């Protein structure tokens, strides 16, 4: 029995371009929800023709199908293969993690079930038929669903409206299949003379499995895979992965090597034309199936058409519902594909750490939920890392020179703009003292300016006078006396071209209305042309003077009692301005190639390192990318980090951006950590990860995976000065990594809350 259409809902003539799973399922649902609709699907291939082999569906997607169409669910359920283990084959060793939960079936089987269901409902299926252009269909149909794939002709024809962004990535991959079914999702790593290749394999039938082989473009070419036909490529790939294939053959299905393309559209609809599935968006196969997203799109589109009063409202609701979900999936997919692109940076890790790193690469699987899924696997990983039983990774100590930090949590530098004439007062005493009492291993000051003209705003703190030194000494003494195992770090910097501006809440990066002071920078380029002041290019004499200001401030910081010094070479301030090719246009020995752009920041670092006590560590904060064309790249950041490490930096604090006003950062959870990961694992030097790291679960995951040594958090510490101690309480940890101050010890357990377990009614009358 068909559900009745909603009141006032009129019948629609619907054309669906593309007979893949997403298009077919949309047609099925639209017809089922309103049998009066005329629904036609155009598919250029024959019914049995398709690319690929198996399709992975999540439990949520399967549940959505069950709710929307029990008959389709029942038909699919007969063919679903389920498993819950992931196996990682690495350097001859296989590690297994359970509790994950997957379901898959053959792509041809899925299409066959959907074909049968569509026919049973009266959907017209036109195979071997090229669909007319969407604009033509739109003239005599009420709705046109463009499910025409990653190379969508509809999207291309209306690119001015949909405004797509297409990004082609650095790996080549090929879809193959094997005539056996592993009992787990398997990743196998092949280290060859040409480079690293990886296998993603999973069952989709009792005796069939999909095998995706992937490699960096340069590895693919060096191995000669670009010169092989389908059969030869399958034979070569089969020989690369003995741990999984064990001599079995691989075969193709119109298989060819391709580079993954991420598709993002600003808009998903144009009049009565709407994009669905890969036409609207793509997400890398390493975190799941594009089919999953397409099926979920179809469910949402059908529901919105049923719930909303008219077509424009329905398409707007569909886009509003699906876009945030897809963006989140694409962020996770990008993290995953980037991890595989940089696989060479991770293969030398110990086996359990490597497997844990692989499992948590997208940030959707974390330390906490992996402990629930497979506690034995996590425990083995922690043992391998030397972590004591019952100790979360974040509460393990870490040593930098003569300084041992009690845990891996850093209060990130945050400008407070509360100083008077550069002198920190009671606000800073309370602000920094509270966060040190709150459990963090290292509490950093805001950027402390080395001179009055080097301030960002009139409210910035400084360290160029005796009065300022005395004020900082008072704060350091409080921290060390009241939280004896806490460390206090000093960040030194000079604003460069980003100075003489208002306080953040008065207008960030806006120039002062009065009382401006002259600025200096690597080159005479304003931060915001037409708005910001144009700085003077720093002369050799000026460079020497600024260098002396840094060393004088460092001496004062040492006398004041700071445990660690960080030099600020990020975010477009003076030293950062020398590093970026977008802000350094000098023609002398301090401009041009990266080695020359590094010259002055390294001179300042060397001068500061010479006067800073030898037993106390120094770190450097860098912007690992400018998020702008022609700017600093992730590869440049590795070279910058290596140069500072060679000059004695004990750790690199890896931030990004804020160098040019026209930046376009790829924001998201832990979005800067891949840059820290690359530096740490490529150079083998300690790194501090920062950037939207918001939960203790994120911190534990990043540390145990070996992506960072320390994690710096800013906003969470503004929300909760005792963030670290509360993280310990929530994880039921009591130990030296999170000591509660004696006056606060009574609050070391989470307070009870109101009852939520009242008896539920047993009878309904």
Residues designated as active site:
573
- In whole angstroms, how far apart are CA 187 and each of 96, 238, 312, 359? 10, 14, 44, 10
Q: Which residues contact 505 (CB under 8 A, 6 or more apart)?
A: none
DSSP assigned state of 496 = G
* Cα angle: 575, vertex 576, 580; to 5 degrees: 125
Residue 457 host element (H or E): none
Give the C-alpha distances (Å, rounded to integers) separating 618 from 414, 420, 614: 18, 27, 9
Q: Which residues contact 755 (CB under 8 A, 6 or more apart)?
A: none
Cα 293 → chain centroid: 19
Looking up tokens 């145990």, which residue turns up?
704
Name the burial class of residue 549, with classes exposed (0-12), middle (13-18) and buried (19+) by CB atoms within 10 angstroms of its CB. Answer: buried
Alpha-helical regions (H) of 570-649: 574-579, 594-597, 599-611, 634-646
d(CA 66, CA 617): 59
Question: Which residues have a Cβ under 8 Å from the Cβ of 517 and sit 6 or more positions away?
Answer: 452, 453, 499, 500
The residues facing 190 across adjacent strands are 197
Cα distance from N-terminal residue to C-terminal residue, the chain? 30
Nearest-angstrom CA–CA distance, 704 and 353: 7
Beta strands in 252-334 (DSSP E): 258-265, 269-270, 273-275
β-pairing verdict for 442-449 and 487-493: parallel
Distance in angstroms (rounded) separating the CA atoms of residues 444 and 461: 13
What distance in Å separates the CA atoms of residue 291 and residue 25, rounded to the nearest whole number?
10
Cβ 670 vs Cβ 702: under 8 Å: yes
Phi, psi of 27 (to 5 degrees): -60, -45
Question: Which residues make Cβ contacts (< 8 Å) with residue 320, sequence separation at least 6?
Answer: none
Q: Is 703 left (phi over 0), alpha (psi -120 to 50) or beta?
A: alpha
Name beta bridge partners: 423: 420
- Dihedral angle, C-alpha 312, 315, 316, 322, nearest 10 °: 180
Question: If DSSP codes are grouped into helix, strand and coil, which group holds residue 622?
Answer: strand
């Amino acid at each position: 029995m068909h559900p009745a259409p909603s009141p006032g809902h009129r019948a629609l003539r619907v054309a669906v371009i593309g007979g893949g799973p997403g298009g077919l399922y949309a047609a099925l649902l639209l017809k089922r929800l309103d049998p009066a609709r005329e629904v036609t699907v155009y598919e250029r291939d024959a019914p049995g023709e398709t690319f690929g082999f198996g399709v992975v569906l999540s439990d949520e997607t399967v549940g959505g199908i069950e709710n929307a169409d029990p008959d389709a669910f029942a038909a699919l359920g007969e063919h679903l293969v389920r498993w819950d283990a992931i196996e990682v084959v690495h350097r001859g060793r296989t590690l297994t993690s359970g509790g994950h939960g997957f379901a898959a079936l053959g792509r041809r089987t899925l299409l066959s079930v959907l074909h049968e269901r569509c026919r049973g409902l009266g959907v017209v299926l036109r195979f071997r038929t090229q669909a007319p252009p969407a604009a033509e269909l739109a003239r005599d149909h009420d709705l046109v669903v463009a499910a025409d794939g990653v190379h969508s002709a509809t999207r291309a024809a209306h690119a001015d409206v949909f405004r797509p962004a297409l990004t082609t990535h650095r790996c080549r991959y090929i879809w193959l299949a094997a005539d056996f079914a592993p009992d787990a999702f398997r990743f196998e790593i092949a280290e060859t003379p040409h480079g690293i290749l990886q296998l993603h394999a999973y069952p989709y039938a009792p005796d069939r499995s999909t095998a995706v082989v992937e490699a960096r473009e340069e590895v693919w070419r060096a191995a000669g895979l670009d010169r092989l036909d389908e059969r030869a490529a399958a034979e070569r790939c089969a020989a690369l992965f003995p741990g999984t294939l064990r001599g079995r053959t691989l075969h193709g299905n119109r298989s060819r090597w391709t580079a993954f393309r991420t598709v993002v559209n600003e808009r998903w609809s144009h009049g009565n034309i709407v994009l669905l599935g890969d036409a609207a968006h793509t997400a890398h196969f390493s975190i799941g199936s594009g089919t999953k997203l397409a099926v979920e799109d179809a469910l949402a589109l059908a529901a919105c058409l049923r719930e909303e009063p008219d077509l424009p409202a329905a398409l707007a609701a569909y886009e509003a519902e699906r876009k945030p979900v897809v963006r989140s999936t694409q962020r996770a997919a990008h993290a995953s594909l980037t991890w595989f692109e940089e696989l060479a940076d991770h293969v030398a890790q110990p086996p359990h750490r490597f497997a844990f790193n692989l499992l948590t690469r997208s940030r959707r699987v974390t330390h906490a939920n992996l402990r629930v899924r497979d506690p034995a696997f996590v425990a083995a990983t922690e043992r391998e890392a030397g972590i004591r039983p019952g100790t979360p990774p974040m509460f393990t100590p870490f040593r930098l020179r003569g300084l041992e930090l009690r845990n891996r949590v850093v209060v990130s530098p945050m400008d407070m703009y509360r100083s008077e004439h550069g002198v920190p007062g009671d606000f800073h005493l309370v602000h920094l003292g509270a966060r040190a009492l709150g459990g963090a291993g290292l509490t950093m000051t805001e950027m402390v300016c080395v001179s009055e003209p080097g301030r960002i705003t009139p409210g910035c703190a400084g360290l160029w006078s005796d009065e300022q030194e005395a004020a900082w000494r008072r704060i350091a003494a409080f921290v060390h006396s009241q939280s004896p195992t806490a460390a206090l770090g000093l960040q030194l910097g000079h604003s460069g071209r980003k100075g003489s501006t208002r306080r953040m809440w008065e207008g960030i990066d806006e120039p002062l209305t009065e009382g401006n002071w002259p600025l200096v920078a690597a080159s005479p380029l304003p931060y915001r042309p037409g708005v910001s002041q144009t700085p003077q290019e720093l002369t050799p004499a000026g460079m020497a003077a600024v260098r002396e200001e840094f060393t004088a401030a460092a001496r004062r910081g040492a006398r004041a009692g700071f445990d660690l010094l960080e030099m600020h070479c990020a975010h477009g301030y003076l030293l950062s301005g020398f590093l970026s090719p977008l802000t350094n246009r000098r023609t002398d020995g301090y401009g041009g190639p990266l080695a020359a752009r590094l010259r002055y920041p390294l001179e300042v670092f060397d001068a500061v390192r010479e006067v800073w006590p030898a037993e106390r560590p120094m770190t450097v904060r860098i912007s690992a990318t400018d998020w702008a064309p022609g700017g600093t790249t992730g590869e440049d950041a590795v070279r910058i980090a290596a140069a500072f490490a060679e000059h004695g930096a004990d750790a690199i604090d890896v931030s990004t951006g804020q160098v040019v006003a026209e930046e376009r950062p790829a924001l998201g959870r832990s979005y800067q950590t891949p840059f820290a990961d690359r530096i740490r694992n490529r150079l083998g030097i300690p790194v501090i990860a920062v950037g939207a790291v918001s939960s203790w679960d994120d911190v534990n995951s990043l540390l145990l995976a070996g992506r960072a040594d320390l994690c710096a958090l800013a906003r969470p510490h503004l929300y909760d000065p005792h963030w670290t101690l509360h993280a310990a309480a929530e994880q039921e940890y009591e130990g030296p990594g999170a000591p509660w101050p004696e006056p606060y010890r009574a609050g070391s357990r989470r307070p009870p809350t109101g009852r939520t377990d009242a008896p539920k009614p047993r009878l309904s009358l």
